[in-house]
Chain A
Amino acid sequence: MSRSTDVLIIGGGVAGVSIARELSKYELDVVLIEKEADVGWGQTKASYAICHPGARWAHGTLAQRMMVESHRIWDQLVEDLDIELARIGELVLAFNEGELQYVDTLKKQGEYNGIKGLEILDGSEVRRLEPHVNPAVLAALRMPTGGVFNPFEVVYAFFENARANGVKMLLGTEVTGIIPQKGDFIVETNGGEIRTKYVVNAAGLYAEKIAQMAGADTFKISHETKSTCLILDRCLGDLVQHVVTGVADPKAFSRFKVVMPTFHRNLLLYTPIPEPSRGIEDRAIEKRAMDLTLQSTKSLVPDIDFETHMIASFSGLTARNSRGDFIIEASEKCPGFVNVALPPPGITCSPAIGKQAAEVLRKAGLPLVEKDDFNPFRRKMKRIRDSSMIEIRELVHRDPRYGRTVCRCEKVSEAEIVEAIHRGATTLDGIKFRTRAGMGRCQSNFCGPEVAAILAGELRRPYEKVTKKGLGSAYILNKKVLRTYGH
């Protein structure tokens, strides 16, 4: 199969889908390819999904500029795309003299960066706002513009809106080679060749590898830092009301430990741990990382038995590039090839990243003509758990499958799972991230087989072809019909 396009975006992380959505505003042929079976399964998935207020990044860096610009866009974007963002504010706690200085410097840097509403609260005020934090707290910096995203919803919102506006999404498609040819590029993939005028390399951890293929590598990507997040039961979700962070490294603002509620009011714990990765594919959770995270976050919120409330944990690699800042630029060696290499915080900056990449493409000669029929809106799916009784009545009236709950912990109905499949989920994880089925306390102990059956039915595949996360990850290995009990 061979196709040609104006712009090819390599990588369906939050950067890739944001760029795709931005480019879908213009009269262009845009194709996005992603090697995984779904979008957002790289660094984005393993993010703690804080909406950073932006004080932690030094003034003048591209990351900081993108953040300031993104904060200007977010409120409108949250409306347009129905993105789940809760601006609950961030508290940076200080427990000693050194840390007091740290928050003071952080506040100054934040104000210099143009962030509004920063204030330093004294210990008693912090204890009043957050009764469960360590009472030894001396002071805290409050940053009211901080918040938490549902990271999956951000990615799926961009993805669905871009697709609705004509971007072609090729999932499960991996780049095997890039050949520059007469000002164009021939991109070889496992799904055939794609001829394109412009390439946007938003491959995250693999950005260096992709850039090398085209001879456009002007940076290195290190994937040596592995971070681990622990998710705790929803019964602890009201333990803290803010994103509560603590100093982990007095010299680096970007390294901090976190105790925070997620968007769905689980509790999330994170500590930066210098955990060497065992290669670019390493996503394994280390026992040491789990223990250290529990131990060090206890200094922020003591007296809570985190161990007995853990329900999920995940690890991911962070792609840090050799320049230590965002890279969004056209390659000089290779005109028409745009590199997008982003260390965190990608999700917070994603709206501005899309705009910046479009600008870089325009400067590289891509004509951007606005479409007349661009639809900026996207609605998230209706959920039983977020609906009132009256809304549920209407939903069940419309589709009786809303009346059948599949996931009992998160109250997900059959209709929601079917809709997730219609919106592009082809795997069990894809359904989980869209609907939250299996993200509750029992971790798909009850609903796993049923969700797989619904997926098999909707995709018209046999049960044993249902996968957790794409090729090779079959839910069950072989079908063998046994006599079942009961009937």
Chain B
Amino acid sequence: MDISIEPLDVTVIGGGPAGISACLELCTLTGLSIALLEGEQELGGMPRSCHIFFGLRDRKRFYTGPSYARKLDRLVRKTGARIYTGFRVLDLVTGSPGDAHELHVLSPEGPLCIRSRFILLATGCFESSRSERFLPGTRPSGIFTTGTLQQLVNLRGLKPGDRALIIGSEHVALSSVLTLKRAGVSIAGLVEGDLRLNTYASVAASMSRFFGFPILKNTAIHRIFGSSRVEGVELLSGRSKETLHLDCDTIVMTGRFRPDSSLIDNTPIEKDPYTLGPAVDTAFMTSVQNIFAAGNVLRGADTHDLCALEGRLAARSIIRNSRTSKQKIFRYIPMRAERPIRYVVPQRIMPMPKRFFSKFLPWPEIQLEKTLLRPTLEAWSRKERIWQGAYRRLLGNTRIPLPIEKFLWDRVDPALGVTLRVIQGV
């Protein structure tokens, strides 16, 4: 009945795009014992319940979400990595430097303890709940996130309601439009509090025309109605200050992703103050030696293919570390962000005159709380400005790459680090 696993070299937590890609990369180096732990019964992660446009940047081919998940599943099962599905990590106990780390895992056959030299966290992310968004009003049923909606529709074949309102306009909002349409749910509207849509405006506009729903920018949710099931919402226009009532029986909250990082809660692993995800350096290592993190556990959601690439790079970093017994000490420079910048990932970077990694991985990146028009981004260290960049427009809730190769690294005080701020902007 009881199962035990001998000490491992690498344990990857999370069988989504980042975790599986990391496993595939790790397996190119023979001799490492590798385990992949996935809490769900199947591998694949989020793409299992999503639909279109998968695999472009990492597999250079076009897949649907489920077929992409199946492809990754097939690939990783061909490797020597041990795959454990239905294994939920309950606790992460970090070892002292040089020692193995310990994972307390709940498997279908009982609990077990896994000791592993390297750990890669690839647990992904989820969308903010209602209270995090400060949505006022009653608390009826019928309020879902896109993630829940896609589970209901795409994995269970259920139709959640008849008329839905979409909140938020990140890329995932378009995905929820398609999911709702697939289930035959009519769309009452798409509401965004920001001045601009946080996604491709032209795509959103054509969807709005094609499916016949209004897009309401600069509009806040003033109140949710309905005591048992959602009956409608009252919207407040930011420009005219007028209220507008919309009838709907379902509300889909999209975007505003947060890392699923509760594993590091009681560990010494340093967290990003905003995302609560692990803070990492450019080699994807967290503040605890030999614990790495990659994919969406680092921040709000990026597309799966970037996560997959990050998984690969983190795997390479693990391989590099596994070859030397001696730990190289790099001088990492801490990065901080001031509001309205939510976060900067990675939180510690190496000064580089050239862009590290390939062009397709736009690290380091920042995210803004809201869209800014004509802003100037600045990087400061001590009392000196080491970079300034003027932009025509920066969209909120999206990834904005930082051109760190332009930073004046020789003027940076490594102890104080770099602070990013926005100087102007509406």
Contact A284 B260 (CB under 8 A): no
| Contact residues of B between 119 and 177, Cβ < 8 Å to A | 126-127, 129-132, 134, 136-142, 144-145, 147-148, 151-162
Residues of B within 8 A of A453 (CB): 156
Complex partner residue of B110 from A385, A396, A464, CB under 8 angstroms: A396
Residues of A within 8 A of B182 (CB): 482
Q: Contacts A445-B129, A448-B148 known; list 12 others, CB within 8 Å.
A: A233-B276, A287-B136, A290-B134, A308-B274, A311-B129, A385-B90, A397-B1, A397-B110, A446-B147, A479-B158, A482-B158, A484-B154
Residues of B within 8 A of A234 (CB): 262, 265
Contact A442 B65 (CB under 8 A): no
A-B contact pairs, 13 of them (CB 8 A): A284-B136, A286-B136, A314-B139, A384-B106, A392-B106, A393-B111, A396-B108, A405-B88, A408-B260, A445-B127, A446-B148, A469-B228, A476-B152
**Chain A, interface residues (CB within 8 Å), range:** 35 or more
Which of A290, A484, A485 has its CB near the most chain B CB atoms (within 10 A)? A485
Q: Does A178 contact B (CB under 8 A)?
A: no
Complex partner residue of A463 from B86, B158, B222, B224, CB under 8 angstroms: B158
- Map CB proximity to A onto B90-129 as digits: 1 under 8 Å, 0 otherwise: 1000000000000010111111010000000000001101
Which of B111, B224, B260 has its CB near the most chain A CB atoms (within 10 A)? B111
Contact A467 B141 (CB under 8 A): yes
Q: Does A230 contact B (CB under 8 A)?
A: yes
CA distance A44 to B351 in the complex (A): 56
Contact A445 B271 (CB under 8 A): no
Contact A392:B111 (CB < 8 A) given known A305-B273, A476-B161: yes
Closest-by-CB residue of B relative to A471 is B228
Closest-by-CB residue of A relative to B65 is A485
Contact B139 A408 (CB under 8 A): no
Q: Does A313 contact B (CB under 8 A)?
A: yes
CA distance A156 to B276 in the complex (A): 34
Report the 9 A-B pairs with minimum CB-CB distance, sorted nearest first: A443-B129, A468-B141, A473-B228, A472-B228, A480-B159, A485-B66, A405-B88, A482-B157, A287-B136
Contact A440 B156 (CB under 8 A): no
B250 nearest CB across to chain A (Å): 8
Closest-by-CB residue of A relative to B105 is A389
| Contact residues of A between 305 and 329, Cβ < 8 Å to B | 305, 308-314
Contact B262 A475 (CB under 8 A): no
Q: Does B219 contact A (CB under 8 A)?
A: no
Closest-by-CB residue of B relative to A294 is B134
Contact B108 A449 (CB under 8 A): no
Tell me the count of chain B residues lying within 8 A, CB to CB, of chain A. 72
Contact A389 B104 (CB under 8 A): yes
CA distance A472 to B140 in the complex (A): 10
Which residues from chain A sit less than 8 Å from chain B, CB to CB?
A: 230-231, 233-235, 281, 283-287, 290, 305, 308-314, 384-385, 389, 392-393, 396-397, 400, 403-405, 408-409, 411, 413, 428, 440-446, 448-449, 453, 463-464, 467-486
Closest-by-CB residue of A relative to B229 is A473
A186 nearest CB across to chain B (Å): 30
Contact A311 B110 (CB under 8 A): no
B67 nearest CB across to chain A (Å): 9
CA distance A403 to B132 in the complex (A): 31
Residues of A within 8 A of B106 (CB): 384, 392, 396, 403, 405, 411, 413
Complex partner residue of B131 from A284, A312, A384, A392, CB under 8 angstroms: A312
Q: Does B402 contact A (CB under 8 A)?
A: no
Q: Does B340 contact A (CB under 8 A)?
A: no
A475 nearest CB across to chain B (Å): 6
Q: Does B258 contact A (CB under 8 A)?
A: yes
CA distance A102 to B317 in the complex (A): 60
Residues of B within 8 A of A463 (CB): 156, 158
CA distance A221 to B394 in the complex (A): 54
Contact A441 B258 (CB under 8 A): yes
Q: Does B39 contact A (CB under 8 A)?
A: yes
Q: Does B184 contact A (CB under 8 A)?
A: yes
CA distance A413 to B110 in the complex (A): 12
Contact A474:B131 (CB < 8 A) given known A392-B110, A405-B88: no
Q: Does B249 contact A (CB under 8 A)?
A: yes
Q: Does B48 contact A (CB under 8 A)?
A: yes
